[in-house]
A and B are shown apart, each in its own frame.
Chain A
């Protein structure tokens, strides 16, 4: 048939013929918006340099995605904003005085090795930002564990890392910990700003509270028992380190968490226990990233055993 005639014919396709106006880009944008409060607090608290770290990491993440896809002759997907999210999460996990090239290397590793080599968005089986962070943690242990920051008068030589400080008897009040008036990574310190961010995501229906609430609850129970039923210890553990940040922005990662509702609960319980184990028994104070990384690896098996019973297969009231 003539090409013009074919073009003039109506399209045929299988139903449904409508689509919602929701896009992946919009979902990612909402996650970015949710991270703005913690970014602003980090900038205000640790100084302008922190914002520079965030921006440089984001640019590196987007640029490495673009260059990789360009070199491999793949469709360019930076428009879906997922590289921005990865860059932001990675940079918000950095100590405030980190040399800017460290997270930039991490961003390249996260995007190229963890995400693109496995097929790009949706195909990676571990969270790129967390893998990037762990990569940096191992490669640049000294720099990654240096939480000194001139802006808040915190010196690693005289002060301990925040989590270690707690174990030694904390100098911080609950209020300081809650609003984020403490040393730590750029994004994790302000529980208040994290709660604002996650509330936004829940309100926008980007995430459900299932994973973060279960994760934090399991972790709390574990630490309560591990800490000898000490409430003070429990609250300090909850308010410090990256447990809340991890629960809000890392454990929830779409790609690397289970899609089944039951699986999400199992996964979050695993994360809670794992984080507790690492925090309690490991010399490394930071358990969240590793716990989530291990959790990511278990996702396929968790999903396999948590396939929901379809409607009508249970609870039949046969007459």
Chain B
């Protein structure tokens, strides 16, 4: 049988060898922990603690601020030092709860208690997941309890565990699959309990044969769960590409995976679901990869959420030389940091530090229309024409060229021989289109309101 895959994409430099054999090592820190109220997609959460409050590890410190929003729990015990805007990985200041750890890690009562999840009702499971503050840990940070509550439970035919880890350099999901497959499969089983007609699929790229073997062993002879081996290609782990590779179904920007009968969760998210449901433990820790050629000791570490990246890097021995580029996340979709004193969030999975910045030093040349980006685009867009529209700031043309379907995966910029910043153009244009749409909506609403006033 051929490997599951999609049309387009690129084979990037992988660079996973730096850290793929490093077992996940736990690291503890004292001092300050910062919990931004916005950790991924959705409305910011509302803090429910105030300066001076004493909080326990696992205690809820913020409520969801809307339907698509998540609970935030403290990862340490200590005193709330401040509730104030703090710098985050996004490069902006976000309202955050700052807790000074007392180093005791005293937990809320009941945490760690074993629970037989098979006896729980669907509503109980969903509310546990919500209270545990679980969001998609692969990057977008979409609140998981919303994902697990589609319109119809019976319509879900696949629960896909995303273990493709197609980003270069990253190895934290790989290590998690090797070291703690029982948590991943456990989380998958919890999800399957919610969806009676679904089968579980663990999707893994074929560059991780050891993980495939380990997961297969963990599944055993469970008839509802199987492994789909996918071709190693970027962006194999993109939601739309993944669903297509596993099921042959298509979704576009206006659809949710549930529209194709799928629920997709990162393997780390599933592990968190398992912890919450079976071990009564909210999301407090995360395994992340610290890598790149500037790191003295590339590693996979398990840390408590809220600690700053800079301190983790320091604890691992620091940099060989001052890095020219530091990325939070993977090199294809991560955020460049100018300051590493930003907290680890639920949806961030790595810190990559590089001695050389390949991108900003190369200004790029004219497009020769070689069409490699057209071949590589996993959404079948036409980047050269979109870039022309972007250069002219032609919003209408950009939309006509289906620019809003772009997933900003970075494939076109990666492959471009002229080193043009294509993805960067499109990101800017997509935001411009959204702004224009909002302005139009606001204008229409105002017009309507005025018309009603007159009538």
- Which of the listed residues A10, A13, A17, A316 has the most CB atoms from chain B within 10 Å of its own CB? A17
**Chain B residue with minimal CB distance to A263?**
B382
Please name 15 further chain A to chain B contacts, defined as beta carbons within 8 Å, in addition to the given A18-B13, A308-B381, sorted by A numbering.
Answer: A13-B357, A13-B359, A14-B424, A19-B413, A20-B414, A20-B415, A122-B418, A254-B370, A259-B385, A303-B382, A307-B400, A310-B380, A316-B251, A316-B252, A319-B260
Q: When chains A and B are docked, how far (Å) is the Cα of A121 from the Cα of B420?
A: 14
Closest 6 CB pairs of A and B: A16-B410, A312-B252, A122-B366, A319-B261, A12-B336, A312-B250
In the complex, are the beta carbons of A311 and B240 less than 8 A apart?
yes
Given contacts A307-B382, A310-B380, A319-B157, contact A16 B333 (CB under 8 A): yes
Cβ-based interface call for A22 (8 A): yes
Interface centre among B12, B332, B418 (most CB of A within 10 A): B418
In the complex, B118 has a CB within 8 A of chain A? no
A254-B414 Cα distance, complex, nearest whole Å: 19
B167-188 at interface with A (beta carbon < 8 Å) = 168
Let me know if A312 and B240 touch, CB within 8 A. Answer: yes
A203 contacts the other chain (Cβ, under 8 Å)? no
Q: How far is the CA of A118 from the CA of B411 in the complex (A)?
A: 29
Which one of B7, B324, B359 has the highest number of Cβ atoms from chain A below 10 Å of its Cβ?
B359
Inter-chain contacts of B372 with A (CB < 8 A): 22
| Contacts A10-B338, A310-B252, A311-B378 given; does A15 touch B418 at CB 8 Å | no
In chain B between 216 and 251, which residues have their CB closer than 8 angstroms to a CB of chain A?
240, 244, 248-251
Other-chain residue from A10, A24, A121 in contact with B336 (beta carbon distance below 8 A)? A10
User: Residues of A with Cβ closer than 8 Å to B?
Assistant: 8-20, 22-24, 26-27, 77, 80, 82, 119-123, 208, 254-255, 257, 259-261, 303, 307-319
CB-CB < 8 A to B42: which residues of A?
none
- When C-beta atoms are compared, the residue in chain A nearest to B415 turns out to be A20
Cβ contacts under 8 Å, A308 to chain B: 380-382
Report yes or no: A23 in contact with B417, Cβ–Cβ below 8 A.
yes
User: CB within 8 Å of A: which residues of B?
Assistant: 7, 10, 12-13, 91, 155, 157, 168, 240, 244, 248-253, 255, 259-261, 322-327, 329, 331-338, 352, 354, 357-360, 362, 365-372, 374-375, 378-382, 384-385, 400-402, 405, 408, 410-411, 413-419, 421, 423-424, 427
Least CB distance from B449 to A in Å reads: 35
Whole-angstrom distance between the Cβ of A149 and the nearest chain B Cβ: 35
- Which residues does chain B contribute within 8 Å of A317, judged by CB atoms? 248-250, 260
Closest approach, in angstroms, between the C-beta of B413 and any C-beta of chain A?
Answer: 5
In angstroms, Cα B415 to Cα A306, docked, is 22
Complex contact B401–A19 (CB within 8 A): no
Task: Report B-chain residues with C-beta under 8 Å of the C-beta of A261.
Answer: 374
Distance between B51 CB and nearest chain A CB, rounded to angstroms: 31
| Residues A311 and B405 in contact, CB atoms below 8 Å apart | yes
Contact between chains at B260 and A259 (CB < 8 Å) = no
Residues of A within 8 A of B260 (CB): 316-319
Complex Cα spacing A26 to B157, Å? 47
Q: Are B413 and A16 in contact (CB under 8 A)?
A: yes
- The answer to whether A316 touches B336, judged by C-beta atoms less than 8 angstroms apart, is no
| Min CB–CB distance A240 → chain B (angstroms) | 30
Q: How far is the CB of B243 from chain A (nearest CB, A)?
A: 9
In the complex, which residues of chain A have a beta carbon less than 8 angstroms from the beta carbon of B375? Answer: 208
Determine which residue in B250, B381, B416, B423 has the highest number of CB atoms from chain A within 10 A of its CB, and name it: B250
A255 and B379 contacting across the interface, CB-CB below 8 Å: no
**Contact check: which of B251, B369, B414 meets A18 at CB < 8 Å?**
B414
**Which residues of the other chain, A, contact B7 by a CB distance below 8 angstroms?**
311
A200 and B252 CA atoms in complex are apart in Å by 37
Residues on B with C-beta less than 8 A from A310 are 252, 379-381, 402, 405
